[in-house]
Amino acid sequence: VAIAAAAIAAGLADCVVAYRGCRQGEVGRFGRGVGYGGAGGPEISGYELGGAAMGPYGAFAAPHKYALRAQRMLDEHGIGQATMRAVAMAAYHHAQANPAAVMRGRTLSAEQYDESRWIAEPYHLYDCCQESDAAAAILLVSAERARSLRQDPVYVLAAGQSGEYRSGAGGENTPSLATAGYSSLAKRLYADAGVTVADVDAFQVYDNFTAGVVMGLVEMGVCSYADADDVLTVENLVAPDGVAPLNTSGGNFAEAYILGMGHHLEAVRQLRGTSANQVPGAAVSAAMGGPMTSLTSGVLYGTEAVL
């Protein structure tokens, strides 16, 4: 999205489509272990897990890697498991109103979450995103042209990518393990857009695992680690009345896993007033990529009223 917006702003393009399509079972992502050499490969897909530094110790898949970061968050900041659970429950709650959500009709209670099997502690089954065959796309044009099209225009207020200090270090040797990777990115996005976290009406945060979403919301300024357990509750994360409506389409967890592209669609829906879980009067929405990856990304979208 950022590259498309930059190309249009520079006069290099008039109309750009940003898209993602997934057929993950077919190309071998699902259940793949270290050393997989199929289509895409671990380096291209972002799943280089450290090879010999981790494989011999049983870290064969993404939940193993990101469980280390989750446990560090719990230990360093005293976050309760219920806060991670709230992220998953909010996604399933929103999916029930979304006709396109794969988890529509499958609710998630606190008891179901707590009783679900461990995948890699501290991750239960419902702390982990699914695999999907799905696709999503966004069409970008200039602001002037957008005003003449059928749909109400939604504007890219700010977009960018960022990484933490030495975030690309292999073998989990990054200096800051318990981070979403948003601490620098969020500040830049807010400054570029001329808004603050208080102006953001809905948060679409890439939910690969619940812990990364918790870290992301903290680093975006929704709360601090000191009050995260009190702020990040199911009631506060659901539309229409929550203080920080989160993944209002169901997100990766409960709508479909399209490597975060669905989050951008939902951010736009919120500002057009067409979301299945509409936040009244939404004028600014965030779509954030990552988290916990070496390179993260984000876009702040806004209506014409906030330009």
What SS3 string covers 57-95?
A: HCCCCHHHHHHHHHHHHHHHHCCCHHHHHHHHHHHHHHH
DSSP class of residue 53 equals: G
| 206 classed as catalytic | yes
**Which of 47, 206, 225, 301 does the annotation list as catalytic?**
206
Residue 159 bridge partners (DSSP): 299
Question: Which tokens sit at 127?
Answer: 């702390």
Q: Which residues contact 79 (CB under 8 A, 6 or more apart)?
A: 73, 214, 225, 228, 229
Q: How far is CA 184 from each of CA 45, 189, 292, 297, 303, rounded to the nearest angstrom?
A: 24, 9, 13, 11, 25
d(CA 151, CA 289): 25
225 is catalytic: no
Cross-strand bridge partners of residue 296: 162
Q: Give the torsion sign (CA, 281, 139, 128, 166).
A: negative
Annotated catalytic residue, options 92, 113, 257, 301: 257
Catalytic residue IDs? 206, 257
